[in-house]
């Protein structure tokens, strides 16, 4: 699962030691300023042990829904639009606005509610012979 970041519009490359162009840091950020920072993205939609879809479910579904479903599956359905969340106010029901966690390269960026896009085709990472990450500097 490769996302396009909300700020740089670049793919979340899968980290590999030899491909220094993949040595990038990604931050998954929520409206209430939870930040999950991943330094070696594995392509599993997980940032610092927090799964994107599980977080989508946690941020949007009711406690009752969360207790009855696997959060990751529920989040996937919310992302794909195969279930709609409804809010009821004074006898009126409407679709709830989904609050998305966003994927950033710059963790200082303010959260805005933009659904992260999944990349369909990903070009090879750019060459980066001057990488200054911890691993490259040690060698
Ligand atoms: Zn590096």
Residue 1: the pLDDT is 94
CA–centroid distance, 29 to ligand 1, in Å, is: 23
**Contact 12/22 with Cβ under 8 angstroms?**
no
CA–centroid distance, 3 to ligand 1, in Å, is: 20
The domain ranges of the chain are 3-138
Using the 8-state DSSP alphabet, how is residue 11 labeled?
B
Burial environment of residue 47 by CB neighbours within 10 A (0 to 12, 13 to 18, 19 or more): buried
**Contact 123/13 with Cβ under 8 angstroms?**
no
CA–centroid distance, 107 to ligand 1, in Å, is: 19
List pLDDT tens digits, range 67-82: 999 999 999 999 999 9
CA–centroid distance, 22 to ligand 1, in Å, is: 8
Single pTM value for the model: 0.93
The mean pLDDT of 125-136, rounded to a whole number, is 90
Q: Which residues surround ligand 1, an ion (CB under 5 A)?
A: 20, 23, 131, 133, 136
Residue 89: the pLDDT is 82
CA proximity to 47, closest of 118, 114, 102, 115: 102
pLDDT band at residue 21 using 50, 70 and 90 as cut-offs: very high
Place of tokens 């009855």: 68
Cα distances (angstroms) measured from residue 58 to each of 46, 54, 105: 14, 6, 23
CA–centroid distance, 125 to ligand 1, in Å, is: 13
């Amino acid at each position: 699962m490769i996302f396009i970041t909300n700020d740089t519009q670049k793919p979340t490359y899968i980290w590999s030691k030899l491909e220094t162009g993949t040595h990038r840091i990604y931050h998954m950020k929520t409206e209430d300023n939870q930040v999950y920072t991943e330094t070696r993205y594995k392509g599993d939609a997980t940032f610092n042990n927090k799964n994107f879809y599980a977080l989508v479910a946690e941020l949007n579904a009711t406690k009752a829904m969360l207790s009855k479903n696997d959060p990751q599956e529920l989040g996937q359905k919310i992302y794909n639009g195969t279930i709609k969340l409804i809010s009821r106010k004074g006898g009126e029901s409407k679709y709830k606005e989904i609050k998305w966690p966003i994927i950033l390269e710059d963790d200082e960026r303010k959260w805005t509610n933009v659904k992260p896009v999944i990349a369909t085709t990903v070009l090879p990472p750019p060459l980066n012979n001057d990488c200054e990450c911890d691993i490259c500097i040690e060698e």
